[in-house]
């Protein structure tokens, strides 16, 4: 069974939010609701990659964010920088931090989720915890604030699996608010959008190797 098709109405204002530009790479602040790359249906052609390439034809995606996730996204401008940055992701030299609002009162102040993830064969493209076939997946979490029915967390993935943060939060019994893939109805309807934002991004510059740091204010 595959996931149901979604109605796609990507945000258009602002059209692009450029955070940083140099000869090697670009950093953008992606809004929730915009695909990183085009989908197969013609109506899914509008995406961050297409918008960027209309202005920077040489730009290429280095990593992705889920359509519903907002925040910092990196693109390369040369084949050399694309290879360099891609290797940094593979070797886990890139550090990313997310902010999330999750359902309920999370017990404790911080922790590490260490649960292997794999594609759910009965519900593609959903992911699931699979101790037999899953790939190692780790997420650090820390409480930022507590609300009446929710907890604001700082999430730092040690690995970069598909839907990792969403499935790991679900595994704790605290799905991310507004998550139409994994949350139960109360949590899903508690927010108008997925409450997950890529707030911090750090990596080595492809030229010279200086550590680069970028931040994006959380919109929720």
How would you write 30-49 as a 3-class SS string?
A: ECCCCCCCCCCCHHHCCCHH
> For residues 45 and 38, is the Cβ–Cβ distance under 8 A?
yes
Supply φ then ψ for residue 129, to 5 degrees.
Answer: -75, 125
The active-site residue out of 24, 29, 66, 179 is 66
Supply φ then ψ for residue 28, to 5 degrees.
Answer: -120, 155
- Helix count and strand count (H, E) for the chain: 4, 12
Contacts of 25 (CB under 8 A, 6+ apart): 62, 74, 75, 76, 77, 81, 85, 206
Distance CA 118, CA 25 (A): 31
Distance between terminal CA atoms of the chain?
Answer: 33
Ramachandran region, residue 92 (left: φ > 0; alpha: ψ -120 to 50; beta: rest): left
- What is the sign, positive or negative, of the torsion defined by CA atoms of 71, 76, 77, 81? positive
Is residue 149 annotated as a catalytic residue, yes or no?
no
Contacts of 209 (CB under 8 A, 6+ apart): none
- Catalytic positions, please? 66
């Amino acid at each position: 069974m595959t996931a149901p098709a979604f109605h796609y109405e990507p945000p258009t204002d602002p059209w692009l939010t450029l955070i940083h530009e140099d000869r090697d790479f670009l950093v953008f602040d992606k809004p929730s609701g915009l695909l990183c790359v085009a989908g197969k249906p013609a109506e899914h052609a509008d995406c961050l990659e297409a918008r960027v390439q209309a202005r920077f034809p040489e730009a290429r995606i280095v990593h992705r964010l889920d359509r519903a996730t907002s925040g910092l996204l990196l693109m390369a401008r040369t084949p050399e920088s694309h290879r360099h940055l891609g290797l940094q992701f593979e070797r886990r030299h890139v550090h990313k931090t997310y902010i999330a609002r999750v359902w309920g009162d999370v017990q404790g102040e911080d922790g590490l989720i260490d649960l292997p993830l794999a594609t759910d064969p009965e519900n593609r493209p959903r992911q699931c915890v699979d101790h037999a076939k899953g790939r190692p997946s780790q997420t650090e979490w820390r409480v930022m604030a507590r609300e009446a029915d929710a907890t604001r967390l700082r999430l730092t993935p040690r690995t970069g699996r598909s839907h990792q943060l969403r499935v790991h939060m679900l595994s704790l019994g605290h799905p991310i608010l507004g998550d139409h893939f994994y949350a139960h109805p109360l949590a899903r309807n508690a927010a108008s959008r997925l409450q997950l934002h890529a707030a911090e991004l750090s990596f080595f510059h492809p030229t010279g190797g200086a550590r680069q740091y970028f931040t994006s204010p959380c919109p929720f």
